[in-house]
Structure 1
């Protein structure tokens, strides 16, 4: 008896979640099909029943990760109204997000591998990133995306650099500086307590 489409979707979703954590933790080059299948609790053959290649799985992980980011912006705007940037920045530059690599935002978590990925993956990245930038612009009442691109770049770069340094004080300084600059860019003072301590 063949599995239902809904059951197959659940399995595919489970694989994508496991692969997303794996690619964030180990990088594209650090995982083969066997490693991806093992993380999802299945055989390599079962993995190939859902994805034709590691590239295809990676593209889907990138797409899902960026769509989650776009939806998160919408969620912060809905939950916090005009004050959404303060809460978003506190979360994004906070200890929990910075130190939890496997659940990281796709931009700091996957961009280094997207840079080396195929054209299809880059097109997905480009398209969904523009949606994120538009969500930010809409939430800030901006007519163009220039400030959104700058904010996204500042946040992702700061998180990536903070993850690379070994000195805890250096990490705090990087994240606090990013919090201050991001607050200026969004015209919102950082009145919500910083969570980088």
Structure 2
């Protein structure tokens, strides 16, 4: 009985990981249930048993991805103290992160599909993104909480948009130029000029 429960948990984890990587790298329309199941080394039946539907898999992958950011922001704040926005932005816009679609940030990879998704998915996204913005705001200086939150939203928006734009460039030189310009703007947005 215990082995079966462990195997079931491992299958669910594998399916969720495969769904997350697949949606991030190929988008919602670019992958199907069979492809996710195959990437997880599972059957389509196992997929439906564990994740319910493609929409259910996307919702779970979105939650997983945004929770990764929720864990990462405070880690950067602890490790880099007042210089954390610079360290975070350098990583976020860096060429290694730009090239890693499957394991890159869910904020950038999944937001375009959230726009076209159902209310439940958009509500989860909004809740998680507000949490991320509030965590970022806690690590910023400002006259008021509202000012810090506005800075956080600007910082996030610049990074997400720049990562998406730089990933779409045909040449690495142009991707670097986009990332560099965005880095400067992101630092200005949070008062690290």
TM range (shorter): over 0.9
* CA distance, structure 2, for counterparts of residue 7 and residue 188 of structure 1: 49
Deviation, structure 1 residue 7:
4.3
CA offsets, 1:100-142, max 9 Å, x none? 1111111111111111111111111000000000000001144
* CA distance, structure 2, for counterparts of residue 10 and residue 38 of structure 1: 15
Q: TM (normalized to structure 2)? A: 0.92
Match of 1:33 in 2: 33
* CA distance, structure 1, for counterparts of residue 16 and residue 169 of structure 2: 29
CA offsets, 1:141-183, max 9 Å, x none? 4412211111111101001011111132221111000111111
The answer to whether 1:161 aligns with 2:165 is yes
Question: Which SS does the other structure have where 1:50 is aligned?
Answer: helix
Q: TM (normalized to structure 1)? A: 0.91
Question: Which SS does the other structure have where 1:38 is aligned?
Answer: helix
* CA distance, structure 1, for counterparts of residue 31 and residue 174 of structure 2: 30
* CA distance, structure 1, for counterparts of residue 115 and residue 171 of structure 2: 27
The answer to whether 1:150 aligns with 2:173 is no
Task: Say which structure is richer in helix.
Answer: 2
Deviation, structure 1 residue 95:
0.6
Match of 1:54 in 2: 54
Match of 2:79 in 1: 79
- Per chain length, whose mean CA-contact separation is higher, i.e. which structure has more relative contact order (CA < 8 Å, sep 6+)? 1
Deviation, structure 1 residue 10:
3.1
The answer to whether 1:171 aligns with 2:175 is yes
* CA distance, structure 1, for counterparts of residue 76 and residue 136 of structure 2: 10
CA offsets, 1:48-72, max 9 Å, x none? 1101100001001001101111111
Aligned match for 1:185, one of 176, 186, 189: 189
Unpaired stretches in structure 2, ≥5 consecutive residues: none
Question: Which SS does the other structure have where 2:52 is aligned?
Answer: coil
* CA distance, structure 1, for counterparts of residue 41 and residue 138 of structure 2: 41
Deviation, structure 1 residue 17:
1.1
Q: Please give the root-mean-square deviation of Cα atoms over the aligned residues, in Å.
A: 1.4
Moved over 4 A (4+): none
